Each structure stands twice: as C-alpha cells, then as structure tokens.
C-alpha cells in the first residue's frame, strides 16, 4: 500500500516496547541521526542514505518496517544483479545492512533478515604508472598558485598515501618539518596517527608553508575563505591538474593504492606500512596492493629455495647421445 502524502499516521502495533510502526524512510532518518551522534563522517552517512534510497526506488513506494521480509531483499538482490556488477550489488547491500541491524536492535523490525553478498571475480587494481608519476611530480613552470598548490597536494598524496579527508583536515600546526612528520588528527578510524615525510617532501612543504604563511590553527590546504577545502573542490582540482599533465587517471584514492604498491615493491616492512596507512589489519592493507606478476617473479627469484641452494650451472641431457 503506497504511503499517503503529507505527515504519516503512526499506528501502534502493541509489541513489548509499544513502538510505533514507522516507515522504512523514517528508520533511515533515525539511523542517520544516530550516526551523527556517534561522529560518523557525513560522506559515510550519505552512502547509507543513497543505498536505502535506491532500495525504495525499487519498491516504488515506502514500506512499514513491520512489512520488511527476507524475501523482499532476496528479490531486490536478484533484480540488482540484472542491471549492475556484483561489486555494486554488494556495495548497496553492505550499506543497507547497518540500517536493518539498527532497526532490529531498536525493535522496529521484527523479521530476521540476512543480506548475503554475491561472489565475483576480483581484478587487479590499476595504479599510476612510473611515467605518470614523473609527469605529476614535475614542478610547475607557471606562477599560478592553484596549480602550484595542487602540485604540492599531489606530492603529499603520493609521498604519504593519506586519504582525502585526512589531507583536508591537516592544520598548519600538525606539520612538524623539523622532526619530519605530519600528525593526522582526523582519520577514518578516529585514531590519530603520525605519518613520516621524506626529505624531498619536507623541502616541498617548507616552501609551500612559507608561501601559505598560515597560522597554526589554519588549514594547510584551505578554501578561498580559509575554511576546510571541500571534497568536490579537491577532486576537481586534482582532476584538472592530472589532465593538464597528460594523465587521464584522476582518482585521488588511486594515489593511496600507488603509494602502498610502490612501498611494498621497495621492501618496506608490512607492519611499518600498516602504521603509516592506518589500516587495522594486514588483510585490509593487502587489498590496496597491486599484485603485479613481475613483482611476484622478482620475489620468487630472491627467496626461492631452488635459487638459494641449487648450483648455478646449466643441467641438461644430451638428447643426441646414443643409448648403450
């Protein structure tokens, strides 16, 4: 039954908690408010809301929480699979799942609903090539501040592997050039961490901070009004910069994949790299590494017992030798 327009009439179901039988859209609003209370990032909340919006578009009407059933989500999953890739199906379901769990815990949803993920073939993650990195790290030849600032930003991304929000949240006081590190206060997992800086990156930031001339509380990379730079503004700046350098890839998160991949190739210890990137586990870190077959061959050549212990001479049979 379609939801009436205007303010919804709440009916009581008479359950143990005497909770109102709210609509799914209202449940999403309650969950979003709960997320904000717990300090969840707005971009994450927007993802939850978008996934739930797509579910309601599939239903073509709102639905009361008491009417939510396993079969409904099974049908939705199968319908999604006819239109989008398995990875996208899983993404939508993953973002709906915490809303359903919230509704179940609060007593709004009575049915037991389990969202299963679809199996799919994983693909190698693309990273910036060495040629593209050289193009991006070449110092600008113009005096345009926006291009200069984006060059510094790209250098920081490639030199530290930090996330977009982490970079936008950096204040001038968080940068310690004397000791060679940046303290990240606002991170994805809410745990501050220290990110080391290479000597070349220290020189780049020294010059930029002299030009920036910001106070300690000022954002290192700010908007024209001095506020935190917007996510879309940063994405657009990097996209324009990359294309102006002849690089078609424009993903900011790809810098993180690239940093991790190149650090692994250089032999950095996995536990050290995990400290730098802020991943909770080595498994999570592994998902960012581009497993190039050449890397695997090089590793085997360096560590294989056959290479370490066999005699370094050619062994073969003389096929022309006559049998006795």
Q: What is the pLDDT of residue 22?
A: 95
Question: Could you identify the residue written with the tokens 């997320």?
Answer: 35
d(CA 209, CA 172): 8
The answer to whether residues 173 and 216 touch, using CB atoms and an 8 Å cutoff, is: yes
Q: Residues 289-307, buried b or exposed e (16+ Cβ, 10 A)? A: bbeeeeeeeeeeeeeeeee
The H or E element containing residue 184 is strand 181-184
pLDDT band of 295, cuts 50, 70, 90: low
The answer to whether residues 210 and 220 touch, using CB atoms and an 8 Å cutoff, is: no
Identify the weakest region by mean pLDDT among 49-63, 192-206, 300-314. 300-314
**What CATH fold (topology level) applies to the domain 130-293?**
hpI Integrase; Chain A (1.10.443)
Question: Could you identify the residue written with the tokens 């006081």?
Answer: 173
Q: What is the pLDDT of residue 298?
A: 57
Name the token pair of 293: 């077959």
Report in angstroms the alpha-carbon separations of 119 from 85, 88, 124, 233: 11, 12, 16, 35
Q: What is the pLDDT of residue 193?
A: 87
Which residues of the chain are in CATH 1.10.443.10 domains?
130-293
d(CA 258, CA 242): 15
pLDDT at 272 over 60: yes
Stated pTM of the model: 0.64
| Nearest Cα residue to 26 out of 111, 106, 116 | 106
Average pLDDT over residues 76-101: 91
Which residues of the chain are in CATH 1.10.150 domains?
24-106
pLDDT band of 120, cuts 50, 70, 90: low
Q: What is the pLDDT of residue 18?
A: 74
pLDDT band of 85, cuts 50, 70, 90: confident
d(CA 140, CA 149): 10
| Beta-bridge partner residues of 171 | 219
| Nearest Cα residue to 157 out of 274, 239, 241, 252 | 252
pLDDT band of 19, cuts 50, 70, 90: confident
Q: What is the pLDDT of residue 284?
A: 55
Q: Which residues contact 55 (CB under 8 A, 6 or more apart)?
A: 24, 76, 92, 96
The answer to whether residues 117 and 90 touch, using CB atoms and an 8 Å cutoff, is: yes
Q: Residues 162-171, buried b or exposed e (16+ Cβ, 10 A)? A: bbbbbbbbbb
3-state secondary structure of 319: coil
pLDDT in tens, 44-53: 999 999 999 9
Count CA atoms within 13 Å of residue 272 on its CB side: 8
CATH number, span 24-106? 1.10.150
Exposed / middle / buried, residue 137 (Cβ in 10 Å: 0-12, 13-18, 19+): middle
The answer to whether residues 268 and 202 touch, using CB atoms and an 8 Å cutoff, is: no
Q: What is the pLDDT of residue 156?
A: 94
């Amino acid at each position: 039954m379609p939801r009436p327009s205007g303010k919804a009439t709440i009916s009581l179901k008479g359950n143990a908690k005497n909770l109102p039988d709210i609509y799914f859209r209202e449940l999403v609003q309650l969950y979003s408010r709960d997320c904000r209370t717990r300090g969840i990032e707005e971009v994450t909340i927007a993802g939850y809301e978008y996934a739930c919006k797509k579910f309601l578009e599939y239903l073509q009407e709102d639905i009361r929480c008491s009417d939510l059933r396993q079969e409904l989500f099974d049908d939705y999953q199968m319908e999604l699979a006819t239109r989008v890739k398995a990875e996208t199906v899983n993404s939508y379901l993953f973002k709906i799942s915490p809303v359903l769990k919230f509704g179940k815990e609060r007593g709004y949803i009575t049915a037991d609903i389990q969202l299963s993920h679809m199996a799919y073939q994983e693909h190698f993650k693309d990273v910036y090539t060495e040629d593209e990195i050289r193009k991006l790290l070449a110092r600008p030849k113009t005096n345009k501040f926006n291009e200069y600032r984006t060059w510094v930003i790209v250098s920081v991304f490639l030199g530290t592997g930090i996330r977009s929000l982490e970079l936008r949240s950096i204040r001038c006081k968080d940068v310690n050039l004397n000791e060679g590190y940046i303290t990240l206060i606002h991170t994805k997992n809410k745990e501050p961490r220290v990110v080391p800086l290479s000597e070349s990156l220290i020189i780049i930031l020294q010059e930029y901070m002299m030009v920036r001339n910001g106070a300690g509380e000022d954002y290192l990379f700010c908007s024209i009004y001095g506020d935190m730079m917007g996510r879309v503004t940063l994405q657009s700046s990097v996209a324009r910069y990359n294309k102006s350098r002849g690089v078609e890839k424009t993903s900011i998160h790809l810098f993180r994949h690239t940093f991790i991949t190149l650090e692994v190739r250089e032999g950095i210890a996995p536990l050290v790299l995990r400290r730098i990137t802020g991943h909770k586990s080595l498994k999570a870190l592994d998902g960012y590494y581009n497993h190039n077959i050449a890397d695997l061959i090089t590793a085997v050549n360096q560590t294989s017992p056959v290479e370490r212990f066999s005699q370094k001479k050619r062994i073969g049979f003389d096929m022309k030798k006559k049998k006795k």
